[in-house]
Structure 1
Amino acid sequence: MAADAPPSEPLGALLARVRSWADDDPSPSTASELHGLATAAEAGDQDAEDRLRDLFRGALEFGTAGLRGALGPGPDRMNLAVVRRAAAGVAAWVAARDVPPAVAIGRDARHGSERFVEEAAAVLGGAGLQVHVLPAPVPTPVLAYATRHMDVGAGLMVTASHNPAADNGCKIYDDEGRQVAEADATAIARAMDAAGRLSDLPLAAASDPRRHQVGPEIVDAYLAATRRTVLGPARPRTPVEVAYTALHGVGSPVVRQAARASGFITLHEVEAQAAADPDFPTVAFPNPEEPGALDLLLAHAAYVGADVAVANDPDADRLALAVWDRSAGERSDPGAWRVLGGDQLGWLLADHLVRRGGLPADGLVATTIVSSTLLRDLAREAGLAYAETLTGFKWLSRAPGDGQPLVLAYEEALGYCVGDLLRDKDGIGALLLAAELVSDLLAEGRTAFDALDHIARRHGVHATGQWSARLEGADGAARIVAAMARLRSTPPATVGGRRVASVTDLAAGAPSRGLPPADVVGLALEGARVVVRPSGTEPKLKCYVEVVEPVAEGADVAAVRARAHEGLAGLLAAVPDALGLA
């Protein structure tokens, strides 16, 4: 791969790197674009030179289990050359391990995904591996399941999940169906660097017997196994009217199958967002967490009189949930529907699993260091083991390190894994469990808010929120680094009027908590905490805030919750100044 550019690389050296890359680019279109920019820059076109410096300032690096970035030419973008080199790295990594010499590949419906799968399959097959290409497009959880179910050495999913429409990427899974660990990501990156000229790599044609097209039976197997793992014992259930959106992603066909097979879910889809569309025309960002992303869903839920509204992100590995708040207006009023936070849904699912019963005596629940601390209290109350990991399912999937059966793992960013059928977040399995939860609440004449109040009376009100700054480009990356360095060297004495009691810096890890080194700083405040880290998938600095207010016996939970959220709002407003980004 092209080496990172020196701080003030001479134009001649830059153009040499550009032309060397373009001459070995398997895509005529991106190669032609680079040669055109090089010619213009050589003739004195400053815009062309600036564009090339941006495209060649470095190489895409492995973040959360793979590569992700904007489509375009050069080493710092997603394109056929980067995919070919990544596939060569995966092939070498698989060959060096004691695993089956086979890879499962899936893709979503983003721009370039189909061509990227073809390129990866050709390279992997050319390296002598058996390649199993899943039906296209397919949700990421199906690929994560298939990687274990088909007994292959690795899985490769072409997706950029919830990133903007201009992005694409690929996630890599190990033979256990987990997003690759740091050491494996490093090994793949080294193998990518050692791959040599892309034009010299052997390629397997589409007709090569090493390339196998998997049929829809893999989706059927995933859904059957998911129902057995996620849903409780078969019994008559109260029907649930579910408003649903796939946010222009690939979830709809599989969710329809899941709903039909459940026997108690009636699905009402947002038609304008049901078909996969890589341009995501009705949302600014196809991320259920983004403001406005679920507006059509809430309007549809109000229109059809749904019991619950749910959304998957574009590759269907995450789940958002909204419910009617009767204190805010009529069910038919979209403004009376409330989107629950990722932590709130995590608490509800955990509480539901405990109430349902039948959990293994040594069962484990797990969450991340940026998620709410409430799951720890729920685990202690239920007699379950509890684990806390770094952010992301590449860590959560490894939480049951000593073989404890996983009951539930979740992260506040809407990622949930129920049981250990697969070892990644699963927005479809979580949807089934959430629907079962709502069914039980309806049968009891209760709401999700009633269940949250019941949890709060036992463990206090936990109000959680997030502040983030999107800082793009080289300058943005430098600002993120500077903000983290400032937080470590001169942490604030107070945040939002609350005294900082202690600072936890995970730069060197925390062995006593089983946490490896990470670019994370935590501030313990009076009755609250703040955790700060750079995003692993986007050019963002993220800050996670939690405020805890105890609920005295007989106290008005609504009043306590209002006080907690007032405190949360004050802290979130104070975060930019505390980070030097006001």
Structure 2
Amino acid sequence: MQHDLIAQARTWLAEDPDPETRDELSALVEAGDTQELAARFAGTLQFGTAGLRGELGAGPMRMNRSVVIRAAAGLAAYLKAQGQDGGLVVIGYDARYKSADFARDTAAVMTGAGLRAAVLPRPLPTPVLAYAIRRLGAVAGVEVTASHNPPRDNGYKVYLGDGSQIVPPADGEIAAAIAAVGPLAGVPRPEDGWQTLGDDVLDAYLARTDAVLTAGGPRTARTVYTAMHGVGASVLTAAFARAGFPEPVLVAEQAEPDPAFPTVAFPNPEEPGAMDLAFATARRATPDLIIANDPDADRCAVAVPDPAAEGGWRMLRGDEVGALLAAHLVERGVSGVFAESIVSSSLLGRIAEKAGLGYEETLTGFKWIARVDGLRYGYEEALGYCVDPEGVRDKDGITAALLVAELASVLKERGRTLLDLLDDLALAHGLHATDQLSVRVEDLTVIANAMTRLRERPPAALAGLAVTSAEDLSRGTAALPPTDGLRYRLEGARVIVRPSGTEPKLKCYLEVVVPVADAAGLPAARARGAELLAGIKRDLAAAAGI
């Protein structure tokens, strides 16, 4: 085994174009570190509907220039097989380690394959790339980003010409084309020949953000903003200035791009501690709300003043923001279809039904939400919101932030807050309380074993609520294609269990609906909702063996 690993490593070294990863792998070979070599050569990173995502490093199980060159060559071959020879591929990238290198490699491969390539002028938010694809009439787009993953990760997200992320069968066909790529020496990579875009496309994106807001609407909400060490600050502040909102107070320690993400364990606003500096800044600046983007600025988190919360600030759940934005759009009189993924709160469906709007439920991910016919608004509980599908057919943390700020301004003029509107929604539709049981693992067999255990022995009740139906989503449903997941319906509750598509996590999405007769009953309903969610979380963890 050791001899085979060393041979594989030496073969890899012979064609690795990156001196850093060559040195890294050479050191492992010289040290005879078979355990680490085995981890890096246990297979290859799998290309799927999330593209590629993984830890940086040498070898086929890591993100590196060799893996990216193969991915780009496979994508180019796929596009040419689809009759897109000579078409334009737009490439964007964030500020993570190696992102600029991976973007340049992609541009070189596309150019060498007979396609045209255009690279965004600097690290910019993912929604700018999604917008640029449609704006420039591209046949595909690539965004080099690992979104909110840990600092040592990077990723490779692929869009097709409609500006939305790939779905089956395209992902499988691209994966097959990647697998068919031969030695890297046979992949042409010219030194130039591609275009580096100017600021025109960014200016056009910012101009498009006007479509999100109501002309002449109030612009009074004051915000604290954190970019979470990502690429969102310059674009968000420009969008807010253009719209006429007060200049956001930046969380200074997190305002500039930094691939080390030095102030957070995980650069995700949902992770414990990630928002602590934003809360500290808000206690000094006393704004109306806090807005946070993840590092590539396609997600948007919101926190609001709440005297009952520890430290005086409360993070809103993604489902709460999703419902608030839906209610705001309904009040503005929009038409079209509201859509969400199956892991998000059922409250959106009730809002749409009462407003006489269309409603659809999709599999997890904006790659599915973006493809809903007649889409006007889509969201997912993981802080993703599509509020302008004609401009960006994907989640967009910049335009979502603008719409949240407009809603806060409208409510502020009426002497009300986002929390008041959440109370209104609970009175109108019942209290929809959501939570998540999320388990990060080192060993992926833990996830597989938990899914097998739940499939073989599904729970009969959770938190004392009878399970009325158990669906294995891997078999598909009348409305949804197959996916690795389980859905339990309970008396007044719903649970979905699925492996994460982008991180080594098992994720369980919980929702309970508690009727509310009047405003006086809201505290009791919230207490009952919290009690049920805690009980479901406890019983589900036991049933899954986690």
Instruction: Tell me which residue corresponds to 2:74.
Output: 89
Report the AA paired with residue 371 of structure 1.
Answer: S
Using structure 2 for the length normalisation, give the TM-score.
0.97
Return the alpha-carbon distance in structure 2 between the equivalents of residues 148 and 288 of structure 1. 29
- Where does residue 226 of structure 1 map in the other structure? 209
1:438 deviates by: 0.3
User: What's the counterpart of residue 507 of structure 1?
Assistant: 474
Q: Is the 8 A contact 1:366 1:396 kept in 2?
A: yes
| Pairs within 5 Å for 1:405-416 | 406-416=375-385
The reply to whether residue 348 of structure 1 matches residue 348 of structure 2 is no
Residue ranges of structure 2 left out of the alignment (5+ in a row): none
Equivalent in 368, 373, 386 of residue 395 of structure 1: 368
Are 1:249 and 2:226 an aligned pair? no
1:15 equivalent in alignment to 2:6: yes
Among 305, 310, 317, the residue aligned to 2:298 = 317
* Alignment correspondent of 2:282: 301
One-letter identity of the residue aligned with 1:382: A
Residue pairs, 1:14-33, within 5 angstroms: 14-33=5-24
Aligned residue for 1:567? 532
Task: Decide which of 158, 165, 179 is 1:193's aligned counterpart.
Answer: 179
Q: Which amino acid aligns with 2:111?
A: G
Instruction: Report the counterpart of residue 516 of structure 1 in structure 2.
Output: 481
TM-score calculated relative to the size of structure 1: 0.91
Matches within 5 A, 1:209-224: 211-224=194-207
C-alpha separation in 1, matches of 2:24 and 2:410? 58
What secondary structure sits across from 2:420 in the alignment? Answer: helix
Which aligned pairs between 1:359-508 and structure 2 lie closer than 5 A?
Answer: 359-360=334-335, 363-400=336-373, 404=374, 406-420=375-389, 421-472=391-442, 476-508=443-475
4+ residue runs over 6 A deviation: none
CA distance in 1, matches of 2:254, 2:518: 46
| Stretch deviating more after TM superposition (137-146 or 193-202) | 193-202
| Residues 1:70 and 2:55 aligned together | yes
Amino acid in structure 2 at the alignment position of 1:462:
H
Which residue of structure 1 aligns with residue 28 of structure 2? 37
More divergent stretch after superposition (457-466 vs 495-504): 495-504
Given that 1:63 and 1:537 are in contact with CA atoms closer than 8 Å, whether structure 2 keeps it comes out as: no
User: In structure 1, what is the Cα distance between the partners aligned to 2:155 and 2:518?
Assistant: 51
Q: Is the 8 A contact 2:49 2:171 kept in 1?
A: no
**Which letter maps to 1:543?**
C
Separation in structure 1 between the aligned mates of residue 482 and residue 124 of structure 2, nearest angstrom: 34
User: Does the residue aligned with 2:89 lie in a helix, a strand or coil?
Assistant: strand
Alpha carbons 2:219, 2:246 under 8 Å: kept:
no
**Secondary structure in 1 matching 2:137:** coil
| Alignment match, 1:108 | 94
1:120 partner amino acid: T
Distance in 2 of aligned mates of 1:323 and 1:54: 44
CA contact (8 A) 2:88 2:140 kept: yes
Residues 18 and 327 from structure 1, CA distance in 2 versus in 1: closer, same or farther, beyond 3 angstroms? closer
Measure how far apart 1:236 and its partner are.
Answer: 4.8
- Residue identity (%): 52
Give the aligned residue type for 2:37. Answer: L
How far residue 553 of structure 1 moved from its aligned partner, in angstroms, is 4.3
SS of the equivalent of 2:154 reads strand
Once the two structures are superposed, residues 23-50 of structure 1 have per-residue CA deviations (whole angstroms, 9 ceiling, x without a partner) of 1212233234334433443xxxxxx001
Q: Does 1:131 align with 2:117?
A: yes
How many Å apart are 1:159 and its aligned residue? 0.5
1:352 & 1:152 partners in 2: Cα distance? 33
Contact 2:96–2:154 (CA<8 Å) still a contact in 1?
A: yes
Could you tell which deviates more after superposition, 377-386 or 59-68? Answer: 59-68
| Per-residue Cα deviation, 1:448-471 (whole angstroms, up to 9, x for no partner) | 111001000111001100011111
Amino acid in the other structure paired with 1:492: P
How far apart in 2 are the matches of 1:27 and 1:382?
Answer: 56
Question: d(CA) in 1 for partners of 2:249 and 2:75?
Answer: 40
SS across alignment from 2:498: strand
Are the counterparts in 2 of residues 240 and 266 from structure 1 also a CA contact under 8 Å?
A: no
Tell me the CA shift for residue 566 of structure 1: 1.8
